[in-house]
Copies of this chain bind each other. A is one copy, B any other.
């Protein structure tokens, strides 16, 4: 079997007709997926470590390519935050190399058989974990996503088609070269990881409309991008929409824990999806806790927007509007509401939340149990910060994203989310009566 493919297109001229180009990528990915499904763990790990070596030896090429992206970005008036996400430096390259080594060290789930048992008919039935097949990943400016996504798809035995942002074109191309060489060195098909060479938007439209070549789409980016892809895709999408996360401080809460958690969940990082956006405080402790919370938030420069009962306790707090309860601020802003007990807290979370991550702070056993059972979010927490909702913190070893979907993968998605299970049935000639 030949695992060497022709050199991929690099320019729009080489790409030619975008739809036809994407179909070629799809066909090549499907063929590569057949090889990848059979790839042994050792070869996959060898490819990952070879990529890490190339990343090291090509460091200056990658930084130079990135410099070209950054120069173009500055010329195009890219915002400083985006330029920062785009930038690669020695520290970020070191992290990328380390990431590859970590993925190589993760256990290979492919081929795991669970639940094998005999049935009265004499057949033996279980389920084997297998790759999904071809994964399309659509993302924005951060070029390290190219490597992260490629490494996770590779380790889980999938082929992938990566479509990064146009801002990172040169960086992605330089990284893609390292990936292909790593695959080749390990004797794996180079087309197992293909980076879309054109920045034409039609490429995305085609990628999400080829169920014959692509098994699942994972979009990473802003909500509007993800909503558009979900609406238009003809391929299943594993998606992350928004994170309107809550902490509910119950009357029985330990005040010290409550303060620490409420402050950490809001101020540890503002722009992340697992950051708390609304804090709910049980009425009996509002008078005592709200002033302490307000003082702590004031230290961090967090703007508070409160309900009427909050404002009766905290003078000068801006009134929260209905939109505030739905808001994912991603900023040093917090909505505050005084509620009457867990029932009202759960009702609020159900009505305004995004089913991402919600936490209760309580010392009451029954309320902790009830919150865990009744709150319908991808992560439900007791006495800890919503900021822990993360693949690394959960011990997945890696994270391709956080799913707010209910089907297939929910919450942080690691290698397992890139696989599926098929039934395996062993017999000795049994037939059905």
Is the CB–CB distance between B236 and A378 below 8 Å? no
B256, A423: Cβ atoms closer than 8 Å: no
Residues of B within 8 A of A125 (CB): 393-395
Instruction: Tell me what chain A mostly uses at the interface: helix, strand, loop, or mixed.
Output: mixed
In chain A, positions 213-246 with a C-beta closer than 8 Å to chain B are 215-216, 231, 234, 236, 238
> Known contacts A37-B374, A383-B427; is A407 also within 8 Å of B407 by CB?
yes
Q: How far is the CA of A261 from the CA of B430 in the complex (A)?
A: 7
Closest CB in chain B relative to A102 CB, distance in Å = 15
Does any Cβ of B come within 8 Å of A45's Cβ?
A: no
A382-B425, A382-B427 are known; give 9 further A-B pairs, CB within 8 A: A38-B373, A111-B373, A121-B393, A125-B395, A359-B425, A379-B423, A381-B426, A387-B431, A387-B432
Q: Is A327 an interface residue (CB 8 A)?
A: no
Q: How far does the alpha carbon of A130 sit from the alpha carbon of B374 in the complex, in Å?
A: 9
CB distance from A114 to the nearest CB of B (A): 11
Nearest CB of B to A433, in Å: 8
Residues of B within 8 A of A261 (CB): 429, 431
Q: A85 near B: Cβ within 8 Å?
A: no
Nearest chain-B residue to A117 (Cβ)? B395
CA distance A40 to B110 in the complex (A): 36
Using a CB-CB cutoff of 8 Å, which residues 193-207 of chain A contact chain B? none
Are A383's CB and B429's CB within 8 A? Answer: yes
Q: How far is the CB of A6 from chain B (nearest CB, A)?
A: 23
Q: Is A422 an interface residue (CB 8 A)?
A: yes
Check A376–B133 contact: CB distance below 8 A: yes
On A, residues with C-beta under 8 Å from B are 34, 37-38, 111, 117, 119, 121, 123, 125, 128, 130, 132-133, 215-216, 231, 234, 236, 238, 254, 256-257, 260-261, 263-265, 268, 350, 359, 372-374, 376-385, 387-389, 393-395, 405-408, 410-412, 420-432
CB-based contact A123/B388 at 8 Å? yes
Known A264-B432, A268-B431, A350-B34; contact A425-B388, beta-carbon cutoff 8 A: yes
Q: Which B residue's beta carbon lies closest to that of A234?
A: B231
Q: Known contacts A128-B372, A423-B412, A426-B382; is A388 also within 8 Å of B432 by CB?
A: yes
Complex CA–CA separation, A410 to B38 (angstroms) = 20
* Contact across chains for B427 and A407 when beta carbons are under 8 A apart: no
Cross-chain contact B256 with A429 (CB below 8 angstroms): yes
Q: For residue A382, which residue of chain B has the nearest CB?
A: B426
Of the candidates B374, B388, B431, the one whose C-beta lies within 8 Å of that of A121 is B388
Report B-chain residues with C-beta under 8 Å of the C-beta of A257. Answer: 428-429
**A380 in complex: contacting residue of B236, B359, B423, CB < 8 Å:** B423
Closest CB-CB distance, A283 to chain B, in whole Å? 21
- Identity of the chain B residue whose Cβ is nearest the Cβ of A121 in the assembled complex: B393
Q: In the complex, what residue of chain B is closest to A111 when comparing beta carbons?
A: B373
* Residues A432 and B268 in contact in the complex (CB < 8 Å), given A395-B119, A406-B215, A407-B132: yes
In contact, A410 and B421 (Cβ under 8 angstroms): yes
A406 CB to closest chain B CB, in angstroms? 5
User: By the criterion CB–CB under 8 Å, are A260 and B429 in contact?
Assistant: yes
